[in-house]
């Protein structure tokens, strides 16, 4: 049987982290002690009160049946209450909130609701690889908007050609940003709303990292700004805030018609998130401050350790005010992939080459500090001994 993949997947490059995993396995087979700083997967356990809520909910037979695709109303209400407390944003839990099986699922499905074949969708580059992939899967045409150092890794909306903006149906934006760790202020979000209104573009703001911020900084929600709810939706995840990456629970909020469109896709594709996990999510959101400052303190300490190491080695970076990533420039004369490969072969340190996040990631690599602090210290010592 001559079985062929569909063009939509045959044309895809290997998923970034799958390719990195293969290289890690190869080095481990050679006996190399690998320090893996490539994936943003928190090592700190999920808080005990959330785990206990899951255990109790899992014992309830009512939670063993099919959940609703849009999520339990009690979970969506908890989301709305959290948004009100954290951001001052009013949401109708019935029409402006939908539960997701992790924010990645919602991001990947959203273009199916709003793009017809050939429609243009904008996304920031470097960025989460799911943005352009999901646009392509929906038959859309991805258009990269560069994030450049000279602009503080914010998109220059005025640089987008008018003919492209007029044809674009949606735009993925993400702050605090993965991979650059850049943050956005109110002036940018106001400009983004104006841009969306002018060109009738749905803004899809990925806000997964708003709660992992340092030195008293509190990132904003896109929805806090006038007109934002009329022009966009926001994705959030419990993964990063509560160390729940494996639990697969998140939510999208915002414009009612947009949430309804995403919900209609989900009705036909999945059967919703396990209700016991939603109950645990309610516990997390209602008590979101428990342990949060302690987790932030740990990640801030790791950030500082790694950044001091970069200072000693002489590699350039901008000090992150949020996320658990450090985005730094590779030594002159090396590409991102060359530097990453050299670092792995000579030191056993795994970092993510910037080009894995898009064309405009060239010249940079990303480190995640979601690993044991002692290993971060070891990585810094190895980095200082490397020859570049």
Please list the residues that pair with 147 across neighbouring strands. Answer: 155
Query: Is 106 in contact with 135 (CB distance < 8 Å)?
Result: no
Query: According to the model, what pLDDT value does residue 20 have?
Result: 72
Query: According to the model, what pLDDT value does residue 15 have?
Result: 66
Model pLDDT for residues 11-36, shown as the tens digit of each residue: 877 766 677 777 778 878 888 899 99
Query: According to the model, what pLDDT value does residue 30 have?
Result: 84
The CA-atom distances, in angstroms, between 347 and each of 62, 115, 135, 340, 353 are: 52, 45, 37, 10, 16
Number of Cβ within 10 Å of residue 22's Cβ equals 10
Among the residue ranges 29-43, 60-74, 325-339, the one predicted with the least confidence is 29-43
Rama region for 77: left / alpha / beta (φ>0; ψ in -120 to 50; rest)? alpha
Model pLDDT for residues 245-267, shown as the tens digit of each residue: 999 999 999 999 999 999 999 99
Residues of the chain above pLDDT 90, percent: 88
Which letter, b or e, does each residue of 338-369 get, where b requires 16 or more Cβ atoms within 10 Å of its Cβ?
ebbebbbeebbbbbbbbbbbbebbebbbbbbb
Residues of the chain above pLDDT 70, percent: 99
Q: What is the 3-state secondary structure (H, E, C) of 268-307?
A: HHCCCCCHHHHHHHHHHHHCCCCCHHHHHHHHHHHHHHHH
Q: Which has more confidence, 341 or 79?
A: 79
| pLDDT greater than 90 at residue 386 | no
Give SS3 for 56: helix
Model pLDDT for residues 36-61, shown as the tens digit of each residue: 998 889 999 999 999 999 999 999 99
Peptide bond into 348 cis (omega under 30): no
Give SS3 for 327: strand
Among the residue ranges 11-25, 31-45, 177-191, 309-323, the one predicted with the least confidence is 11-25
Q: Which has more confidence, 303 or 345?
A: 303
CA distance 308 to 311: 5
1: pLDDT confidence band, cut at 50, 70 and 90?
confident
Q: Give the closest residue to 145 by CA, choosing from 96, 203, 80, 82.
A: 203
Query: According to the model, what pLDDT value does residue 16 have?
Result: 64
Model pLDDT for residues 204-245, shown as the tens digit of each residue: 999 999 999 999 999 999 999 999 999 999 999 999 999 999
Q: In what order do the strands lie in the sheet with 325-329?
A: 325-329, 364-368, 352-353
Torsion 52-252-298-85 (CA) sign: negative
Give SS3 for 375: helix
Query: According to the model, what pLDDT value does residue 118 have?
Result: 96
Q: Which domains does the chain have, with CATH numbers?
A: 7-45+291-385 (3.90.1150.10), 48-286 (3.40.640.10)
Please list the residues that pair with 144 across neighbouring strands. Answer: 123
> What is the mean pLDDT of the segment spanning 290-303?
97
Among the residue ranges 111-115, 169-173, 340-344, the one predicted with the least confidence is 340-344
H or E stretch covering 112: helix 103-114
Peptide bond into 60 cis (omega under 30): no
CA distance 45 to 11: 37
Query: According to the model, what pLDDT value does residue 10 have?
Result: 85
Model pLDDT for residues 112-152, shown as the tens digit of each residue: 999 999 999 999 999 999 999 999 999 999 999 999 999 99
């Amino acid at each position: 049987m001559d079985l062929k993949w569909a063009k939509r997947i045959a044309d895809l490059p290997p998923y970034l982290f799958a390719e990195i995993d293969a290289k890690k396995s190869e080095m481990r087979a050679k006996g190399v002690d690998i320090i893996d700083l490539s994936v943003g997967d928190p090592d700190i356990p999920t808080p005990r009160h959330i785990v206990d809520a899951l255990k109790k909910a899992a014992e309830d037979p009512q939670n063993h049946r099919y959940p609703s695709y849009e999520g339990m109303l009690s979970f969506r209400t908890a989301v709305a209450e959290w948004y009100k407390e954290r951001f001052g944003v009013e949401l109708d839990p019935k029409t402006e909130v939908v539960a997701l099986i992790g924010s990645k699922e919602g991001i990947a499905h959203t273009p199916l609701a709003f793009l017809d074949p050939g429609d243009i969708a904008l996304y920031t580059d470097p960025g989460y690889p799911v943005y352009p992939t999901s646009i392509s899967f929906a038959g859309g045409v991805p258009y990269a908007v560069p994030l450049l150092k000279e602009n503080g890794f914010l998109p220059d909306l005025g640089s987008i050609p008018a003919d492209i903006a007029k044809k674009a149906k949606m735009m993925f934006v993400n702050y605090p940003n993965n991979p650059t760790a850049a943050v956005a202020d109110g002036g940018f979000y106001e400009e983004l709303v104006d841009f969306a209104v002018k060109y009738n573009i749905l803004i899809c703001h990925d806000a997964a990292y708003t709660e992992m911020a340092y030195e008293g900084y509190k990132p904003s929600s896109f929805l806090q700004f006038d007109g934002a709810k009329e022009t966009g939706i926001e994705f959030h995840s419990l993964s990063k805030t509560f160390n729940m990456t494996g639990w697969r629970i998140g939510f999208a909020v915002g414009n009612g018609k947009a949430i309804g469109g995403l919900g209609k896709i989900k009705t036909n594709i999945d059967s919703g998130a396990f209700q016991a996990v939603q109950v645990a999510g309610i516990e997390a959101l209602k008590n979101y401050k428990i342990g949060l400052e302690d987790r932030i303190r740990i990640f801030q300490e790791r950030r500082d350790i790694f950044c001091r190491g970069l200072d000693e080695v002489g590699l350039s970076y901008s000090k992150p005010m949020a996320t658990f990533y450090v985005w730094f420039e590779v030594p002159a004369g090396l590409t991102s992939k060359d530097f990453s490969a050299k670092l792995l072969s000579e030191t056993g340190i795994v970092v993510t080459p910037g080009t894995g996040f898009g064309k405009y990631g060239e010249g940079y690599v990303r480190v995640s500090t979601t690993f044991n602090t002692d290993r971060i210290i070891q990585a810094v010592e190895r980095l200082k001994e490397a020859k570049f």
